[in-house]
Structure 1
Amino acid sequence: MKSIRSIIVTCIVLLTLVVSAVFFSLSNRFAHYTLEKSLESTLGNLADTVAAEITEQNEKQFKALRAIAALPYIKDSSNDFFERQKNLDEVAHADPTFIGLSITDAEGNSFKEEVNRMINFSERPYFKAAIKGQEYIYGPLFNKITNALALFYSVPVVNEKGKIENILFSAVNGDILCNTCKRIKVGKDGYPIIVDRATGCTIGDVEIKNVVNMQKMQEAASEDPAMAEFAEHINKVYAGESGFAVYN
């Protein structure tokens, strides 16, 4: 028969093993929880950083357009339309920020020096918004004239009578958002992707081809059964939700 001492020692050893197992399990869970919260916080800060950069960039472009639209020569509708565009072309050529700078009439017509003819922009969303008095951002899109990505910004031109008879829009380098993604690292090899919630298109990625091709991750994920879980996460993002998820 085992001695009482032997039984007690055995019980203590078993109890120690149980406590160790429970402690290990709790430690594991706590470590996982802590890591998850840390990553969630990091991603949240990352989103704030990207949003701040985009907001700053947009405000910089709008500020420049507002200043140009407020110039007496530009907003005076009695001045020759083609001469006003000629002045804008000179500004665009002197400022590397701009790919192009254009003024349209109330019908959306604008003279484009590159093709030496009038082009109508009345169906473009940036014209429709600005002619109603709203500032607008559109893109980035692949510009066939310049053979590069371009972002479009537009503002109304309010004349001396307080009416909107023209709009002013600029085309700027559309690589801006891709460059933002390249500058920001997530861990060793990770990087952010910027998506336009209105269209679902990727507008910022280290792989610029995804922007040129107007990639829609939601569609790609939903069409592949193996990516069903990933599609679920993407749908939450498009719905405006934030959080943390792992996809393998």
Structure 2
Amino acid sequence: MPIASTAKKHFDEDLARSRALLEHAFAISEGTLRDDIIRSSWMLSVGAADAFFCDAYADAVARSLQAKHIEPAIVTSKRLLSLKIPVAAVIRGVTTGSWGWRMAARDLIENESVLDLETVRKHFNQYFCDSDKLFGEKSFDAWILHKDWKHRLFGITKTDYRRLTPKAKDKARKESKKKFEERFQYIFQRRHDCIHNCDRAKVSLNRLHIKSKSLISYVIEDIEFLVTRFTEEYQEAFPKYIRGLGYNGTTKGRVCQ
């Protein structure tokens, strides 16, 4: 399967659970229980994204290790060589093949959180070519002009963006990136507030973010857009990364499918 396929499948299932929680919450009477179910829907959505990015990263590491095992003479990336993987996990990878490498990679990432876009960039940009870096100045147009674009994410319509002069487009792109990043910072921070402070900003419970069903639905939609759009680019970039390192077509076929 293409890279991150299993992670994306699990993400879709988890997001469906989040939507089911939201539907259930607004089907019962108002009160603390309903509020907490709504909070749970938000937290589960963000958790689904966190789990996805962790699994997608582990998948890339596992496939990279598998490729290196198949063609040990290939010079791999310094970042991969610097990863600290337990000896037991490496032995398991050598003896059990692709499944073992996947488990080794999961051992590496299981205690990490990928709940900000800068961390996503840090982990994944190594797999993207220089002209297509994740959330980069050169590649962000495809996000703004995507068919599932939302104005609340970018602050400009696709039509207006296309009409801009190159200079004005550069300015608009930077502003859209800032808005996009601020949106997800807000979404992720709400999850932290709920988990670490039980959603008490000071003394009273914070209900401002859970009054509207549509507001929570938009959060879920935006998380879905982030992960789906990322997966599209990731599945295109990773085979290029493997081939660019010098692995032959047979190895590329084994680790990219």
Q: Give the TM-score normalised by the residue count of structure 2.
A: 0.28
Higher relative contact order (CA 8 A, sep 6+): 2
The structure with more strand, counted as a fraction of residues: 1
Q: Give the TM-score normalised by the residue count of structure 1.
A: 0.29
Larger radius of gyration: 1
The structure with more helix, counted as a fraction of residues: 2
